[in-house]
């Protein structure tokens, strides 16, 4: 009798110990204390016993029942403790781990150059303007003394857009920033309506497009136009301004400038501007950095100005090229790959 109860208590303890979760434990409990559990069955079995026997048997069963209940409560507590411990462990913070850094962002190297260019020219009294990248044929070419069917148009491999202008000619992705010469000058003239306009002095940096792609050409690239027109602005001023710009930009006075005769429809005479470093890794090489020239009278006229009164120069330089020279980058495409390992170096 006692041994039977002891063995029930024993197997209850075993079953409780095996229960790995609170749900398992409640199932195990049902096997012993549930409606048809083993202890409950024993109680039912007492019906036929005498009063005397009921007393002793009932007391013994109660003792067993209490033992089972206390084993159950112990196991409940143990499982709850386990769960809490696991949760604490899972949520633990290792304060000795290094932090997850959010890296500071930075400007793209070409943007750094653009800002630099703007600052330097602004300090020399130049206005900074920008304009549309989808241009009319008139602005990109005709206004710049480059009429339809003129052979000089083939100097640039232009992208055309599926939209036609009022003249029936498709719009283009501007192949240079030179249309900004005319756009800016016209707007400037308008602003001075009726008043004496002393000069036009502006740079126009921005994106430009040509059908071209290799290590030193990309279909989208950058240019910065410069224009200075006044009563008596000459090549001499261009040389001073440009040399000053280059020396400030590259932070060296060890730099020479060379004008190499060239041709552009919108300037006459025209020249490529080459620079040469006297020291450093690029020393001794002539490097082409801009096209330039005295603004053609036809262009001055298209600006709404009298070429007898306004004379001066324009230049167009390549900020991508300037960035490559300044930082020693040998492949233009690196600027447009978006590779964080490359870009991070300029932060
Ligand atoms: N627009 C010319 C080019 O893209 C550069 C240039 C600008 C030349 C202004 C002369 C004057 O090559």
pLDDT at 1 over 60: no
* Domain contains 153: yes
Q: Do 134 and 30 fall within a single domain?
A: no
Residue 95 pLDDT level (bands cut at 50, 70, 90): confident
Q: Do 79 and 133 fall within a single domain?
A: no
- Ligand 1 neighbour 226 (Cβ under 6 A): no
- Ligand 1 neighbour 136 (Cβ under 6 A): no
- Residue 264 pLDDT: 96
Which of 8-12, 103-107, 221-225 is least confident? 103-107
Mutate to test the pocket of ligand 1, among 316, 317, 318, 319 (most ligand atoms within 8 A of CB): 316
Q: Do 188 and 227 fall within a single domain?
A: yes
Residue 2 pLDDT level (bands cut at 50, 70, 90): low
pTM for the whole thing?
0.73
Spacing, Cα 318 to ligand 1 middle (Å): 10
- End residue of a domain, out of 56, 90, 124: 90
Using the atom order of ligand 1, give the atom closest to the CA of residue 177.
Answer: 1
Q: Do 128 and 225 fall within a single domain?
A: yes
Quick one: three-class SS letters along the chain? CHHHHHHHHHHHHHHHHHCCCHHHHHHHHHHHHCCCCHHHHHHHHHHHCCHHHHHHHHHHHHHHHHHHHHHHHHHHHHHHHHHHHHHHHHCCCCCCCCCCCCCCCCCCHHHHHHHHHHHHHHHCCCEECCCCCEECHHHHCHHHCCCCCCHHHHHCCCEEEEEECCCCCEEEECCCCCHHHHHHHHHHHHHCCCCCCCCEEEEEEEEEECCCCECCECCEEEEEEEEEEECCCCHHHHHHHHHHHHHHHCCCCCEEEEEEEEEECCEEEEEEEEEEECCCCCCCCCEEEEEEEEECHHHHHHCCCCCCCCEEEEEEECHHHHHHHHHCCCCHHHHHCCCHHHHHHHC
Q: Do 85 and 167 fall within a single domain?
A: no
Q: Do 229 and 274 fall within a single domain?
A: yes
Taking only the tens place, the pLDDT of each residue in 247-293 is 999 999 999 999 999 999 999 999 999 999 999 999 999 999 999 99
Q: Do 193 and 79 fall within a single domain?
A: no
> For residue 24, what are the domain limits?
2-90
Taking only the tens place, the pLDDT of each residue in 109-143 is 999 999 999 999 999 999 999 999 999 999 999 99
- Residue 157 pLDDT: 85
Using the atom order of ligand 1, give the atom closest to the CA of residue 144.
Answer: 1
Residues annotated within the binding site for Mg(2+) are 268
In CATH, what number is assigned to the domain containing residue 189? 3.30.930.10
- Ligand 1 neighbour 313 (Cβ under 6 A): no
- End residue of a domain, out of 90, 123, 138: 90
Q: Do 187 and 42 fall within a single domain?
A: no
CB 266 within 8 A of CB 181: yes
Using the atom order of ligand 1, give the atom closest to the CA of residue 223.
Answer: 4
Q: Do 184 and 222 fall within a single domain?
A: yes
* Domain contains 104: no
Mutate to test the pocket of ligand 1, among 153, 182, 264 (most ligand atoms within 8 A of CB): 264
């Amino acid at each position: 009798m006692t041994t039977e109860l002891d063995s029930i208590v024993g197997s209850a303890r075993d079953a409780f110990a095996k229960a790995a979760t609170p749900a398992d434990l409640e199932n195990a409990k049902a096997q012993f204390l549930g409606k048809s559990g083993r202890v409950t069955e024993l109680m039912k079995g007492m019906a036929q016993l005498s009063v005397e026997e009921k007393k002793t048997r009932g007391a013994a069963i109660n003792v067993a029942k209490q033992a089972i209940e206390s084993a159950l409560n112990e196991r409940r507590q143990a499982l709850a403790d386990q769960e809490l411990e696991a949760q604490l462990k899972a949520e633990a913070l290792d304060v000795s781990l290094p932090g997850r850094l959010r890296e500071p962002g930075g400007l793209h190297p070409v943007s750094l150059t653009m800002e630099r260019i703007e600052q330097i020219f602004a300090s020399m009294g130049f206005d900074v303007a920008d304009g549309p990248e989808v241009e009319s044929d008139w602005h990109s070419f005709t206004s710049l003394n480059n009429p339809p069917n003129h052979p000089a148009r083939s100097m640039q491999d232009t992208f055309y857009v599926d939209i036609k202008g009022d003249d029936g000619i498709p719009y283009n992705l501007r192949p240079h920033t030179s249309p900004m010469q005319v756009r800016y000058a016209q707007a400037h003239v308008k602003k001075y309506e009726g008043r004496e306009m002393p000069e036009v002095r502006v740079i126009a940096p921005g994106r430009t497009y040509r059908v071209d792609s290799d290590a030193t050409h990309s279909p989208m690239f950058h240019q910065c136009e410069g224009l200075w027109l006044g009563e008596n602005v000459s090549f001499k001023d261009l040389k001073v301004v440009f040399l000053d710009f280059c020396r400030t930009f590259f932070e060296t006075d060890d730099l020479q400038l060379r004008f190499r005769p060239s041709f552009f429809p919108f300037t006459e005479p025209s020249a490529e501007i080459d620079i040469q470093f006297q020291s450093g890794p690029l020393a001794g090489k002539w490097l082409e950095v801009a096209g330039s020239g005295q603004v053609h009278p036809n262009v001055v006229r298209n600006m709404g100005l009298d070429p007898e009164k306004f004379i001066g120069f324009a230049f167009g330089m390549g900020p991508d090229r300037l960035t490559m020279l300044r930082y020693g980058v040998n492949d233009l495409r690196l600027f447009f790959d978006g590779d964080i390992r490359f870009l991070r170096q300029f932060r």
